[in-house]
Amino acid sequence: MTDITSLILDDHERFRRAFAELDDLERPDELARVWEPLADLLDRHAAAEEAVFYPELIQRGADAEDETLDAVGDHNDIRDAVAEARRHPAGSAAWHAAVRQARTANSEHMAEEEDDALADFRKHADPGLREELGRKFLAFKAEHEGAKDIDTGDVDPERYVAEQERKAGKKPSGDGSLGIGGLKDSSERGAP
């Protein structure tokens, strides 16, 4: 099984466990041994979601624009905190503060992503697509092992959503909302 929503949950569990593992460590070399692969995975996971998952959510999710805007903004917060931690030696006060910031931002983000974006996608994507995207998600992560060739700079959420909608052939509504989901929303509420 390579259902992308399940693979994303697997990474989320890896994050929770790795952050928890840090709680039990004090020596800088041990902290670094757990943190460095965790930091790489945080960057690779966000980039893989933005490359493989969110472009497809935008095409079919009921509340995809808001979910994607939130997610990309959250990914920026996580990327910023990871980058800040990389500027300091493992175990230093500044490192601990940045890791705490990454953990808090990531925990909040995972809850929203799981309850909103992933749930929305399961309702609107067929099993075959979920499997196909899972294979792409794994391939992206393998290709960028060690977070190489990944741009960890901020991604402008509005620009990202507009770009994905343009690629999907959707027209922005021009009223500030980027314009999808209204019809699906009303049909789901049972409106005539």
Q: Sign of the C-alpha dihedral, residues 16, 42, 110, 48?
A: negative
User: To 5 degrees, how large is the angle CA 96–CA 100–CA 102?
Assistant: 120
CB 103 within 8 A of CB 19: yes
Question: Nearest approach, Cβ of 109 to Fe ion (angstroms)?
Answer: 6
Nearer to Fe ion, 8 or 133 (CB): 8
Question: Nearest approach, Cβ of 49 to Fe ion (angstroms)?
Answer: 5
* 19 CA to centre of own chain: 17
The identity of residue 110, as a single letter, is M
Question: Nearest approach, Cβ of 72 to Fe ion (angstroms)?
Answer: 9
Nearer to Fe ion, 32 or 138 (CB): 138
Question: Nearest approach, Cβ of 173 to Fe ion (angstroms)?
Answer: 25
Nearer to Fe ion, 85 or 117 (CB): 117
Alpha helix locations (H) across the chain? Answer: 4-23, 28-48, 54-60, 64-86, 93-112, 119-124, 127-143, 157-167, 182-188
Nearer to Fe ion, 35 or 121 (CB): 121
Question: Nearest approach, Cβ of 8 to Fe ion (angstroms)?
Answer: 5
Nearer to Fe ion, 75 or 170 (CB): 75
Q: Which residues bind Fe ion (CB under 5 A)?
A: 8, 49, 113
CB 37 within 8 A of CB 143: no
